[in-house]
Homo-oligomer: A and B are copies of this chain.
Amino acid sequence: MVKSANTAYAARVPLHQVHIQDEFWSYYINLVRDVVVPYQWDALNDRVNSAEPSGAVRNFKIAAGLEQGDFYGMVFQDSDIAKWLEAVAYLLESKPDPALEDIADGLIDIIAMAQQEDGYLNTYFTIKEPGQRWTNLAECHELYCAGHMIEAGVAYYRATGKRKLLDVVSRFADHIDSVFGTDPGKLAGYDGHQEIELALIKLYQATGNERYLRLGRYFVDQRGQKPSFYAIQLEERGGKTHWPGNVALDLEYSQSHVPVREQDKAIGHAVRLLYMLTGMADVAAETGDDSLFAACRRLWDNIVTRQMYITGGVGSMPQGEAFSFDYDLPNDTVYAETCASIGLIFFAQRMLRISPEAPFADVMERALYNTVVGGMSRDGKHFFYVNPLEVDPKACGGANRKYDHIKPVRQEWFGCACCPPNVARLLASLGEYIYTVHEGTLYTHLYIGGEAQLEVGGGKVKLKQASNYPWDGKIRLEVEPDGAAGSFALALRIPGWCKRASLKLNGSAYPLNDQTVVNGYVRIEREWAAGDVVELDLEMPVQRIYSHPLVRANAGKVALQRGPLVYCLEEADNGANLHEIVLPREAELTAVREEQLLGGVVTVRSEAEKLREEDWTNGLYSPEAVPGTKPHPVKFIPYYAWANRGEGEMTVWVRER
């Protein structure tokens, strides 16, 4: 396979080379290590009494012959185990933890015992429908679960050097390769929920076995070919479905309506699309497939310029947890699944590894600092699946069943528990997302403090990053090349939100202009010496942000952003009926550091106005206009921190006058 020159694929940065030490992120990463991963292990073992049971570990024990009983949970319950194990692997790769590694090894032993003679591995079909393997790809997530287990196997091998799970998933992948394909006697099918594609590329990268790259590319290429494989299988099953409704016939839902290279609008289930795009970018990069990369770019553009919330949330429609259509971004009926924003980050990372352009990193940062961090509570034990931008608790769940899908406070665990372990594995691997090295250039995409050991221009370099990001935009980088290897370019992202930036190199101003700033990164190409210091100053005023006029839901409204953080109003600070608040365009916006609030945040204060509702005495409708407004001081908090103080209203978009 020949790689084209423009798709040189930047390597993943191993986590043991990136030590994060950052006021904002260390808290979350420690939370994942100390609370989230142990808590989720309890949940997966059904030891959290107040949460919905999982059954996931027990399913593997039953499939392994260690326990008796029935399969419990969703058809994709296995994936929770795999994602948890992947998160554990990232923690171990970052920092040894023998006790945790023992638990993981024990679990891997069970998983290996649950694997069937021929390499097949799936507890649902092994326990519950042993004769029905691969008969319902559209609905039953076998390849999805396989993909997650492959990711876990690769991650665990990279972290520990232990091959047991890698061998298990390699045998499983070999089995899958023997089942699927266009050769006679094989199933010319593909997964109902994309995931296997990106996983197979990881397996290829870890093992060097091109069989897995070919198989991953096959799944990408086969998707959406006519006649529909799902429809064929549905007929072969005599119309039997696993879920209510019939997703096998809803090809747009699973992006199998046309081949992937012909798709140009984000449509269907959001997580499916984003995992698919991640795998497509991987295949494009590893095979130098320009038409595939062009499709990635086209769908990226559609998502981020037409279908993304200001919080980096995507998939605005609860029906099908799906994308809907351009500029349709309602704030209250919203879906914006946490996993979808995680998928967007995966996709952005792959695009950055192919082509370091700041807009990819801008979106990654937006999704990370708003929806993903906001998906988890400060205590690490409660999670959002859906991330609304406007909440009236009266409309959420309860007797009136209005917006059942929206929860005004984070939940302990879910019957469908995809999001919590997804947050855990992303945060545990955050070190992967900060830097990439492209030939002679070291790119810094995210401003996260710590130390990194990287290889660039044929030598090694230590990079120390320190900042108070996202609370202010002053970033200090100390460069320490290893001996003679000091000739390379350092490229630092100037975020899209930043309208004024300045840079000093060893105390002297360094110009930011069209020559030095390329694709949104300021490049400093020189012979680096130990002790060289780069100071980047990203001005971080509070910004009023407006939506494209075609976004119906935000007409006449404004949102606030400061640095990468989107802000919101909460009832806790501003009283109920947030829709009655009007922010005058000329009102001053003041950033205030509050150390004691929500773990320490910068809030934004302003003198807004509020309808004098108490002076309305006209019943439900009246020809007399609403009485005027009264001054109403408001306080905005970062969106990610909402719903940590009980149940109440929240809104990101505020009416402007």
A interface residue numbers (CB < 8 A to B): 244, 252, 267, 304-306, 308, 310, 317, 319-320, 322-325, 328, 333, 392, 394-395, 399-402, 404, 499, 543-552, 555-556, 559, 561, 577, 579-580, 582, 585, 611, 613, 616, 618-626, 655
> Is A548's CB under 8 angstroms from B618's CB?
yes
CB distance from A401 to the nearest CB of B (A): 5
Q: This chain: how many copies in the complex?
A: 2
> Is A325's CB under 8 angstroms from B394's CB?
yes
> Is A623's CB under 8 angstroms from B549's CB?
no
> Is A580's CB under 8 angstroms from B623's CB?
no
In the bound complex, CA of A618 to CA of B499 (Å) = 14
When the two chains form the complex, which single residue of B320, B555, B620 contacts A547, counting CB atoms closer than 8 Å? B620
User: Which chain B residue has the least Cβ–Cβ distance from A306?
Assistant: B620
> Is A577's CB under 8 angstroms from B550's CB?
yes
When the two chains form the complex, which single residue of B308, B546, B624 contacts A624, counting CB atoms closer than 8 Å? B546
When the two chains form the complex, which single residue of B304, B579, B620, B623 contacts A555, counting CB atoms closer than 8 Å? B579
CB distance from A645 to the nearest CB of B (A): 22
When the two chains form the complex, which single residue of B317, B547, B611 contacts A400, counting CB atoms closer than 8 Å? B317
Q: Contacts A333-B333, A402-B317: A611 and B549 contacting too (C-beta < 8 A)?
A: yes
Question: A-B pairs with the 4 shortest C-beta distances?
Answer: A549-B613, A543-B623, A552-B579, A555-B579
Q: Contacts A322-B400, A333-B333, A625-B546: A552 and B392 contacting too (C-beta < 8 A)?
A: yes
In the bound complex, CA of A439 to CA of B548 (Å) = 63
CB distance from A393 to the nearest CB of B (A): 11
CB distance from A564 to the nearest CB of B (A): 13
- Residues on B with C-beta less than 8 A from A402 are 317, 319, 324, 328
> Is B399's CB under 8 angstroms from A546's CB?
no
- Residues on B with C-beta less than 8 A from A499 are 623
CB distance from A360 to the nearest CB of B (A): 14
Q: Apart from A317-B400, A328-B394, what are 7 other A-B pairs with CB-CB below 8 Å?
A: A319-B402, A322-B400, A324-B400, A324-B402, A499-B623, A545-B623, A546-B626
> Is B267's CB under 8 angstroms from A580's CB?
no
In the bound complex, CA of A549 to CA of B620 (Å) = 9
User: Which chain B residue has the least Cβ–Cβ distance from A322?
Assistant: B400
- Residues on B with C-beta less than 8 A from A310 are 621
Q: Contacts A333-B333, A400-B322, A556-B655: A622 and B395 contacting too (C-beta < 8 A)?
A: no
CB distance from A37 to the nearest CB of B (A): 35
In the bound complex, CA of A401 to CA of B321 (Å) = 11
> Is A400's CB under 8 angstroms from B621's CB?
no
> Is A620's CB under 8 angstroms from B400's CB?
no
In the bound complex, CA of A577 to CA of B547 (Å) = 14
- Residues on B with C-beta less than 8 A from A555 are 579-580, 611, 655
- Residues on B with C-beta less than 8 A from A550 are 577, 613
In the bound complex, CA of A547 to CA of B620 (Å) = 6
Among A310, A328, A548, A613, chain B packs the most CB atoms within 10 A around the CB of A548
- Residues on B with C-beta less than 8 A from A577 are 549-550, 552
In the bound complex, CA of A619 to CA of B324 (Å) = 18
- Residues on B with C-beta less than 8 A from A543 are 623
When the two chains form the complex, which single residue of B306, B400, B616 contacts A548, counting CB atoms closer than 8 Å? B616
Among A310, A400, A543, A546, chain B packs the most CB atoms within 10 A around the CB of A400
> Is B552's CB under 8 angstroms from A328's CB?
no
In the bound complex, CA of A394 to CA of B555 (Å) = 18
- Residues on B with C-beta less than 8 A from A547 are 620-621
When the two chains form the complex, which single residue of B394, B548, B616 contacts A621, counting CB atoms closer than 8 Å? B548
In the bound complex, CA of A285 to CA of B1 (Å) = 87
- Residues on B with C-beta less than 8 A from A399 are 252, 267
Among A310, A395, A561, chain B packs the most CB atoms within 10 A around the CB of A395
- Residues on B with C-beta less than 8 A from A561 are 623
Question: 24 A–B contact pairs at CB < 8 A?
Answer: A267-B399, A304-B620, A308-B620, A319-B402, A320-B401, A325-B394, A325-B400, A328-B402, A392-B552, A499-B623, A544-B625, A545-B621, A545-B623, A546-B618, A546-B624, A547-B620, A548-B618, A548-B620, A548-B621, A549-B616, A550-B613, A555-B580, A556-B556, A559-B621
CB distance from A656 to the nearest CB of B (A): 8
User: Which chain B residue has the least Cβ–Cβ distance from A611?
Assistant: B549
- Residues on B with C-beta less than 8 A from A394 are 325, 328
> Is B324's CB under 8 angstroms from A545's CB?
no
Among A394, A549, A580, A618, chain B packs the most CB atoms within 10 A around the CB of A549
In the bound complex, CA of A549 to CA of B626 (Å) = 7
User: Which chain B residue has the least Cβ–Cβ distance from A392?
Assistant: B552
In the bound complex, CA of A580 to CA of B499 (Å) = 28
In the bound complex, CA of A388 to CA of B616 (Å) = 26
- Residues on B with C-beta less than 8 A from A613 are 549-550
- Residues on B with C-beta less than 8 A from A404 are 319
CB distance from A416 to the nearest CB of B (A): 19
CB distance from A68 to the nearest CB of B (A): 27
CB distance from A601 to the nearest CB of B (A): 21
CB distance from A563 to the nearest CB of B (A): 13
User: Which chain B residue has the least Cβ–Cβ distance from A395?
Assistant: B328
- Residues on B with C-beta less than 8 A from A620 are 304-306, 308, 547-548, 551
In the bound complex, CA of A544 to CA of B549 (Å) = 25
CB distance from A98 to the nearest CB of B (A): 47
CB distance from A559 to the nearest CB of B (A): 8
Among A395, A404, A555, chain B packs the most CB atoms within 10 A around the CB of A555
Among A244, A324, A585, chain B packs the most CB atoms within 10 A around the CB of A324
When the two chains form the complex, which single residue of B304, B585, B616, B655 contacts A625, counting CB atoms closer than 8 Å? B585
CB distance from A558 to the nearest CB of B (A): 8
